[in-house]
Chains A and B, each alone.
Chain A
């Protein structure tokens, strides 16, 4: 790829971010910063019980409080047929409870008042009478004969949601019968929460003069949300405008539509004034989209040399009270079947059962493509168990089984077609960076002295960038994405996309794509996303899909503009199009570089000196449907030291070698990797949304749902290899989620490796010092 000048700052430049200035000066515009005239505030009344009959709601005292404007209950919503709403996955969920509540912190009533304090006061005054019901917390008991049936609204009187299987069971079972070694691991990927630093919220503003509803919304998918609001709420779509303002992190948490949004809209429609609703942190952790809660068993069949022959997976998925998983409709377990990983073997079989429990609904894609974190964690854990069983080095076992570069495009036994990969290259680079031989030697010596040190490897393959549209959709809407580029007469540009940045730096990276393709300096290109009135339709930003989809659309729209620019240049230069050559920023006559027209001159002519027969203006739009997913990969190596006395784990080093194909902005890619690794660290060691036997949630505030600070977070060492995607217009793959997908296994493998000589094969996350200390105590290592 031609590298442009710093002035143009096309792809490959670590351009400083265009969005930073406003954030650095306190001039961002997040949803809670939106203040409209006559705006009022909503506050949610929530259930203290995990499972209870709703006997009565008395709102009299609350209504009498001065400043209270309205109180909405489930019964009120039922009159408008809005007490329930569809989830993104063939289920429905209560907006406000009617009949009974199914999880602690469930939405029961919505109070609207003139200010946020009065709304909170009034919520306290709403008297709700409950009758407790037996609580189902353990998903393993969901299908027991004596389990309480949670969803009496469903025809099927069972807590079982779905059974899904994929692969060749017979061939897999046969491979297991014939193989010398069967390594097995049972691993729970615990329930955790994306917990972006900004919680969810909205300002719903219905103007009864224009009959238009504007919703300022913490939305990763504003266009899809507009359509769903229209279909579910019966409001004509042209009368709804969704605006995603600046978003303080999303990580999948801001993909679903939550009851609070719907209540704010209903309140604004009723009262005719803007209604703001902003979650507290506890509401965010306790009621909005959780992630994981996958209880998985993996088996690997192999021969004595360590060549893997087959994989068998059985998983129980806890979806909570409603199946509100945000995933494409053909995939009840998302992309979990990418669990065969980076390895070449002919047979695999995977089955997943989903169940209801009395917990918050969700199953969202927390910084990953729909359950791919669970998949990558499982295979990378299983490979380490196999290495332990075979007494083989885990790096060498991986090397022996990698899919080889010549095998791409590679069809996996569970049906995915990987686009490209050079797995050994990433492994070798990571091994080199960590000094693998030396560090293994150090471990051996430390072990002799009784010190605990471990090395964990993870060689993950990610699958990102959904579509293609024939396979992927959200609630029926196909997963293409879009870009529109408009060049102004002076050669500057504004571009709009169907995606929505939540910190990924789109205002910079998309501008760099335009700069690369058209030679217009990136600083002269404004990027605007998130306003459904102005941006072309798209499915939004999650699943690392922005660069694979809207990024591709940007390049293709720019190329359309270049085609037209060529016609204008030919006219201006009085040359034929065939005689023109392009270099970023100008067309020139072959062999006469002095005879040239810059893109800025061409843009001016598009409005002032239009060639006969050509339309005025210089703009283009593209809706891009990718032919396949892209498959970034990498190898991560973690080195830990464990304190024998306290069980405390110190991550001494962490090497991350990523391959995301061609890179738009190396600085931003590195930043994404740092952030994703830190979330991986949090998942491996800290983050847990847990419930007691009564369904009381623990982990419902930042006092007990732990987020790493700068002190716990190690210094990350990063590296890149580059294997372009063969089908993406500029060979990029997407990167934001790789570090979160690939790293949990590296952390856990390192801790297990430190303790493997004591007979430890697996520890479930989060691996706390308490867990490790108990193991050390049990093994007689500490007193």
Chain B
């Protein structure tokens, strides 16, 4: 086992300092070292996007990065979606529009949708479809995910978060 490196980062607003092997994947670091199991592993080849997290404001597939590469970074996972005690408009939208079934892709979908709406608060259907095209869903056929993002977009424009 290689010597562990100390990794300092901010995740969901909290400073954390944990030692990890240089080869440890960021997704395993998040799930197993930091105990945040909302981020999932679905494919190991960066195709499915279940492991998507926000790293310094950009979406990354955390199965394709080493934890040491995230040293000093600011990360947001599904557990950190800003909520103020209630559901985030995106979470609400996914529930209202039936945008999830088994729930396994959902954390990654939420993070990708969150990043999309940050960049483009009022996306067209085509823009939403492209925006979540790095995330595979095996259950919903995407249509209700599109509606969920539209729901959140509207709600946020009306003064949500």
Contacts and interface: CB of A to CB of B under 8 A. Distances in A.
Contacts of B10: none
B133 A197 contact: no
B104 A67 contact: no
B66 to A, nearest CB: 12
Contacts of B144: 671, 674
A26 B78 CA distance: 6
A707 B138 contact: yes
Contacts of A709: 129, 132-136, 142
Interface in A675-691: 675-679
Contacts of A675: 101, 138-141
Contacts of A678: 140-142
Interface string A660-704: 000000011011101111110000000000000000000001110
B131 to A, nearest CB: 8
Contacts of A503: 101-103, 139
Interface string B119-139: 000000000111011111111
B45 interface: yes
Given A502-B102, A503-B139, A710 B47 contact: no
B91 interface: yes
25 contacts: A20-B103, A24-B95, A24-B110, A25-B38, A25-B81, A26-B38, A27-B38, A28-B38, A33-B31, A195-B138, A197-B102, A197-B104, A198-B104, A281-B42, A502-B102, A503-B102, A667-B98, A670-B98, A671-B139, A703-B47, A707-B47, A707-B138, A710-B130, A713-B143, A715-B143
Interface residues of B, number: 57
B101 A26 contact: no
Interface of B: 1, 21, 23-24, 28, 31-32, 36-45, 47-48, 50, 77-79, 81, 87, 91, 94-96, 98, 100-107, 110, 128-130, 132-146
A198 B42 contact: yes
Given A281-B44, A674-B140, A702-B47, A248 B104 contact: yes
B1 A30 contact: no
A677 B41 contact: no
A24 B106 contact: yes
Given A17-B98, A117-B23, A282-B44, A674 B37 contact: no
A251 interface: yes
Contacts of A16: 95-96, 98
A332 interface: no
A666 to B, nearest CB: 10
A282 to B, nearest CB: 7
Interface in A17-49: 17, 19-28, 30, 32-33, 35
Given A30-B40, A710-B129, A711-B133, A248 B141 contact: no
A674 B41 CA distance: 24
Contacts of A702: 43, 45, 47-48, 136
Given A118-B1, A503-B102, A674-B144, A249 B41 contact: no
Contacts of A248: 40, 42, 102-104
Contact of A247 (B100, B102, B132): B102
Nearest to B39: A26
B116 to A, nearest CB: 11
A337 to B, nearest CB: 29
B146 A710 contact: yes
A716 interface: yes
Q: Which 6 A-B pairs have the closest CB atoms?
A: A26-B38, A503-B102, A23-B103, A248-B104, A674-B141, A503-B101
A198 B36 contact: no
A197 B141 contact: no
Interface string A702-726: 1100010111010110000000000
A230 interface: no
A677 B144 CA distance: 13
Contacts of B44: 280-282, 701
A86 interface: no
Contacts of B1: 66-67, 118
Interface-centre pick from B23, B95, B101, B144 (highest chain A CB count, 10 A): B101
A246 interface: yes
A193 to B, nearest CB: 11
B103 A677 contact: no
Interface in A503-524: 503-505
A489 interface: no
Given A196-B104, A504-B101, A671-B98, 20 more contacts: A20-B100, A22-B103, A23-B100, A24-B91, A24-B95, A24-B110, A26-B38, A196-B102, A197-B48, A197-B137, A197-B138, A251-B138, A503-B103, A667-B98, A671-B140, A674-B140, A674-B142, A675-B138, A701-B45, A710-B132
A26 B77 contact: yes
Nearest to A282: B44
A26 B107 contact: yes
A700 to B, nearest CB: 10
B45 A703 contact: yes
Contact of B142 (A20, A67, A713): A713
Contacts of A504: 101
B135 to A, nearest CB: 8
Nearest to A678: B141
A504 B136 CA distance: 18
A197 B130 contact: no
Interface-centre pick from A20, A199, A701 (highest chain B CB count, 10 A): A20
A31 to B, nearest CB: 11
Interface-centre pick from A30, A677, A710, A715 (highest chain B CB count, 10 A): A710
Nearest to A717: B143
A567 to B, nearest CB: 40
A351 B91 CA distance: 51
A27 B79 CA distance: 8
A674 B135 CA distance: 17
Contacts of B50: 197
Nearest to A674: B141
A713 B135 CA distance: 13
Interface-centre pick from B23, B43, B45, B106 (highest chain A CB count, 10 A): B43
Contacts of A711: 129-130, 133
B75 to A, nearest CB: 13
A117 B21 contact: yes
A25 B79 contact: yes
Contact of A249 (B96, B102, B135): B102
B106 to A, nearest CB: 5
A674 B143 contact: yes
Given A25-B79, A25-B91, A702-B47, A246 B103 contact: yes
A19 B85 CA distance: 18
A144 B33 CA distance: 56
A343 B32 CA distance: 56
A196 B21 CA distance: 30
B103 A28 contact: yes
A280 B142 CA distance: 24
A35 B32 CA distance: 9
B92 to A, nearest CB: 8
Contacts of A703: 45, 47
Nearest to A682: B138
Contacts of B142: 674, 678, 709-710, 713
A16 B101 CA distance: 12
Nearest to A67: B1
